[in-house]
Structure 1
């Protein structure tokens, strides 16, 4: 018996060893191959791919076609699952692999008609155009990798079938990029509901004015834009529908784990201000954190192109990049390119709405969503002359009012791939301006410089011409002419600057200066103001370390600006010596957010509680939650704090009339109670590093225990909302999850372009277990950067592995 037991034990041990060996072999087979040789169909000559210590490929080819085919192949090695999940999100196909909980997300994206738009975009592309041929070669490289290698582990776990990637998939991801910028889904319903249900006195805290001289000096608001009409009247069920669509638009991105574009910093100084006598460019686009990170770095070299660029999934053209002659970065323009239109329905025919002076038929079509483990879902989608009816995203509507979405993306030619193909090669001011003019949607600020000494900024978008007096911050009335568009502003009339006399340009998602208003959902001016002040204060001597220090600056004027009118109320609410000492910390605070400080923890929790105490009772929890995720609330809170007579201070749920002092008192003590319960009774331990944490989440890491396997972090995070080091998230209570921030931090000094610096939040690879899956994460959290090798000698000396791709 003992011998039998021993034999069984040995047998089980042997099976375990075999199982572990098989799993190890399966895992190893899925790691990127960065050395040796591989064969690719379609190559005209061998392509050399040299990988540096960070896993960045430096690709040398003898032709453009070979270059982009090789890029597609190596990009897919590292990011195939990211490519798959992005195209499925954009095209409304997630439920097929993730199950019924994603049906709602798929309904939303089918309703947005990105899939329909992308298919039409692909069909219209000129097959002879260089950009089209480059894209086709890139996708061929992606598809050759997918067809010849084991599927990534995520494909196995989720049962994702392989299928080729297409031009329409690339266009769909571009449509998602444009959608991710759109704040209208949250902001317009929130402001419209306040306007209709609460009245104009409650709108007073929202900064709806225009600043013709710019906002970086924080001057008082100029006269507001002409008021819009009273607007359409919606019923309670219609408002619930809009709140649901607004929540869906956010939840879709949270559930799928796909990066949302949030904002950005970019600035450039002229050679007259730099230590090296040449322009210096700095950029850190702000994007939601994820695993893998949004950007894929690659150094491309072939006849006609030399570029170190950052690429998005399924796009062969760098969206930001540089070489020895020129470079650029991006920020969000924040222009309002979506209008929500409440349709006027024909009382005699519910399938007709009023448009262009007559009754027009609603177009209808049906689409089918495949659902993993369940029968397919069929949905009917409608479109009016104003655009898709977004209520159709809901399975069951509470209201009866059709709301259409007019979107510039669906109304313009938008040759955005051609734009970036040309921008990747634009060494002169004229070439760069011409390339940028082809960006129609989403709205982007392009901040550009070259070694010849030019610096420039262009606000790139097709800006719609709306009727005089229309304020698109609110729902528009489809029964009037206010939803009509008379055309688009010519590109040369967009906001822009070329070689300004001040010697520097700042772009930080703030409202641009100019006599003509450009409607938008702009960020607070505090971040732009901080950057502008720092750049203006130093006339000469700027270099890379100084630029990096500015990128890591954690100070903002926003906190002190909110607190200043409330300090007397806070002091009156704090008779206890310990509480009074905390108030005095806030009074002495200048808005810095380092990890070892207590004041930013106090302020951010207090801001969360103050906003809820003041606004939630009027709006209701659902509507307040929608407003909390908008930039409109960020603008509103300083104005609310200044106005002791604002009607928002009074609680509607009580017969008494509450005052600002009472609401401040309630919010302050709620803050203290929450921090004690969350961080402990020792107030000295309420440091920002404990309260403000960054975890990079993988789509599979949303649920335990897979979060311990696929996620990266947590890390203590300096910076905060509207600081230059904009590590942040929506207004939230402690512990505050850091959901977005700099997706890279780049500095290019054109006196030493080979010494450019950059960083990714996690690493180059999206393949779990790869050495480059998370090898930059700690350095990023520490504010460090690494070299971006451009010079051939540097590339050679830092090559760690070499892959040669041969013609098959």
Structure 2
């Protein structure tokens, strides 16, 4: 027995030693790729020495004597801190993920190859102006200087992920940066999904009023009732098939409801306590670790520029210079149309056009798949655009046999000059100059909010498609591609883009709300991103005669839900304080306690309060009860509460209360019945998930901000090192927006929010502030991986100064790139 014990002890000791050695080796290899910030490095391709001063937040201040060298320094800094992120984005847009991830990403690669975004980016390089070409080439040279350093210095392949997913690293090219802007455009637009969903819903709900309930127009002048989708295309349509895109590994686009959003507002000197213009901006994107945003400062000939960049793109997307500040919000421009193209029954290589049959433009493309034989696909284009895979976006459910779906989209251009607009914006010295240079912007369409020292403005930028007023679906549903009235008639002039220059009230802003009342086809969009936040914003802006930097910050961090304040009195009006007190421990008593809490709540979605969780769970259960029997499995696509739908139902707008009656029951249920049943459903779910002590609930326990590593975030053990989770306030409809997941076991996780916040004050420019959601580094062993995350969670910021002395005083390292 003693012998057995000794051998067991030896084996356990050996296992511990091997584990420690293995962990040590992993740590050593991973730490080799940690960038060194304090060094001197000889590099080729620069005209003079460059200094990259990292302040104590890891923000690089790139000091150079020429614009070319400044962009070189930015490329080097991006590659130092975010090389894996850059390479992954490049592989995504190239349709080359399967080379390292195998069969899991074939669906994404197939979609990206069919869109042809990377070849279009290559073609667009020649259409940039001279300054932009110079910037792109210098930036690429800076990235490649870092690649050379990694290869020559054995710097751990540049990032820990490259040990797990080994693949050759091609040099960076100017086309790569343009391609990333096209990828961002694809991720920021959701009209393709909305068209398919509207078509599928129309097939189940032919009543135009009921369709307008569940997919409502924004308040204001509307559109005449559309035809039922079945009348637009020849049938029969295939049976409903469940969505596959959402479960895909590394999908090219986020699920419905999780594409672009944002807030931005500005005040001129007459509405500023300090006598200078003010601007606040917080773009909303999916939360990841690291964040998509990277803070940086460049010293250009036109002056210093500082703000948020996206690794791989040599542009300060949002930020300020010494004379100008700019912010972006998603415009929700309807820049995509789906077409159903009829195939020639005699020749499947032909499709129908207004002038008869025409041959597809075709090209073979080979997808290399790790550990599997390569797959060859045939890319096909019509004059309307590329043919999309039937398995993507549930297109199979709306595409009749003998037809294929194609996409018209403004970003499908080989003459895309959006990069020229971005570079020019950084160098602009006034609002007027910025608006003029943004004429070159193609996609993604954005609302550009601007201030200089005297003026505020808001301008929609991006190419607006021109549609025929006789378009059968007005671009809201897929339409037949051979009908001339459905096809795009070119593009509208830049002057048609809505804009507001120096408004009389002194304040402009956008929360993705409806921007114009123009009728179709100059309507911009029928689908907007917000009908709720804008109400709270208007109240806050008009509540003060003058604003300050701090009042703009307060608005940016506001967590009061106008939606809760509006809907709770409606859905609970027949439930408040009704009936006798129920015995303790009964469902009725639990319902009364929940109603008592909600009746005394001011609508603040504070992470420490129980009421937001009860409210959110009630609204979610309520919408599920209202739509499940009418829509069946399609109800799962409506995984976020639509406030306008709930309000229409409980106000019985045009008979919308009809949704409250359960179709399959004998009795006729009232909306009060459904509200009560939904509250009980919500409380059962809360009890099972968080316990029955309602007063002890915390919204922040459910509304965790989940910054998940794009690839390693679900890997056991590793996920605890690479993911960042934080309790957060806010919600779907608050100014401090934290869009919830909407589905799964944790439907209220915060997965789409302001990854960047900035507030710029031209009364004292160096008092401007900004912050990102995680940290500067993409390396999980770096202290800069998540050091800004807690500041972001608490609503704090770091200084956004162009003072070189401050940067040097707070420096954690200076990288000197010198001529050899």
| TM exceeding 0.5 | yes
Residues 196 and 233, structure 1, Cα contact 8 Å, conserved in 2 = no
Match of 2:267 in 1: 269
Deviation for aligned residue 1:775: 0.6
1:281 aligns with 279
Equivalent residue number for residue 774 of structure 1: 786
Match of 2:447 in 1: 445
**Residue of structure 2 in register with 1:457 after alignment:** 458
Partner of 1:164: 171
Cα drift, residue 679 of structure 1:
0.7
C-alpha displacement at 1:626, in angstroms? 2.6
Q: Which residue number in structure 1 is paired with residue 137 of structure 2?
A: 136
1:560 aligns with 2:565: yes
Q: CA deviation at 1:38?
A: 0.7
How far the C-alpha of 1:244 sits from its partner, in A, is 3.5
| Separation (CA, whole Å) in 2 of partners of 1:704 and 1:19 | 17
- Cα-to-partner distance string for 1:725-766 (whole Å, 9 max, x where unaligned): 001224347562110111111111101111111111110000
Helix, strand or coil: the match of 1:77?
A: helix
Unaligned 5+ segments in structure 1 are: 211-219
The within-5 A match list for 1:656-695 is 657-695=668-706
Select the residue among 546, 553, 572 that pairs with 1:548. 553
Separation of aligned partners in 1, 2:141 and 2:442: 27
Is the alpha carbon distance of 1:78 and 1:88 closer, same or farther for their aligned partners in structure 2, counting shifts above 3 Å?
Answer: same
User: Equivalents in 2 of 1:102, 1:509: separation in Å?
Assistant: 32
Q: Does 1:78 align with 2:81?
A: yes
Shift of 1:550: 0.9
| 2:220 and 2:517 in contact (8 A); partners too | no
Q: Which moved more, 1:521-530 or 1:565-574?
A: 565-574
Deviation at residue 250 of structure 1 after TM alignment: 9.8
Counterparts of 2:247 and 2:23 in 1: how far apart (Å)?
42
1:759 aligned partner: 771
Contact 1:717 1:781 in 2 (8 A): yes
Contact 1:595–1:717 (8 Å) recurs in 2: yes
Give the C-alpha shift of residue 254 in structure 1.
8.0
2:139 & 2:99 partners in 1: Cα distance?
26
Is 1:716 the equivalent of 2:727? yes
Q: Could you say if the C-alpha distance between residues 662 and 368 of structure 1 is closer, same or farther in structure 2, counting changes exceeding 3 Å?
A: farther
Does 2:488 match 1:485?
A: yes
Deviation of 1:50 (Å): 1.0
Q: What is residue 415 of structure 2 aligned with on the other side? A: 413
- Structure 2 distance, partners of 1:709, 1:483, is 51
CA distance 1:73–1:734, change in 2 (3 Å): closer
- What CA distance in whole angstroms lies between the structure 2 residues aligned with 1:757 and 1:43? 31
The answer as to whether partners of 1:183 and 1:521 remain within 8 angstroms in 2 is no
Equivalent in the alignment of 1:367: 365
Report the equivalent of 1:532. Answer: 538
Distance 1:177 1:120 in 2: 18
Tell me what 1:232 maps to: 232
Deviation at 1:83, TM superposition (A): 0.2
2:176 and 2:646 map into 1 onto residues whose CA distance is: 41
**TM-score, normalised on structure 1?**
0.91
Secondary structure (helix, strand or coil) at the match of 1:205 reads: helix
Cα distance in 2, alignment partners of residues 508 and 364 from structure 1: 42
Indicate if the aligned counterparts of 2:447 and 2:460 stay in contact, CA closer than 8 A: yes
1:27-176 counterparts in 2 under 5 A?
27-122=30-125, 124-125=126-127, 129-149=130-150, 150=155, 151=157, 152-176=159-183
1:378-393 aligned within 5 A? 378-392=376-390
Cα-to-partner distance string for 1:756-803 (whole Å, 9 max, x where unaligned): 111111100001211101111111111111112311232232222111
CA distance in 1, matches of 2:570, 2:21: 70
Residue among 210, 219, 237 paired with 1:202 = 210
Aligned-pair RMSD on alpha carbons?
3.0
1:264 and 1:285 in contact (8 A); partners too: yes
**1:13 and 1:224, CA in 2 relative to 1: closer, same or farther beyond 3 A?**
closer
5+ long unaligned stretches in structure 2: 583-587
Work out whether residues 285 and 754 of structure 2, in 8 Å CA contact, stay in contact via their aligned partners in 1: yes
Q: Report the alpha carbon displacement of residue 225 of structure 1 after superposing the two structures with TM.
A: 4.8
| 1:317-343 CA distance string (max 9 Å, x none) | 111121221111100001110111122
Deviates more, 1:32-41 or 1:571-580: 571-580
Aligned to 2:525: 519
C-alpha distance after superposition, 1:428-465 (max 9, x if no partner): 122111122111211101101012x1111101121112
Work out whether 1:726 is the aligned partner of 2:737. yes
Secondary structure of 1:374's aligned partner: coil
Which residue of 2 is the match for residue 641 of structure 1? 650
**CA distance, structure 2, for counterparts of residue 560 and residue 251 of structure 1:** 38
Equivalent position SS for 2:201: helix
In structure 2, distance between residues paired with 1:142 and 1:520: 41
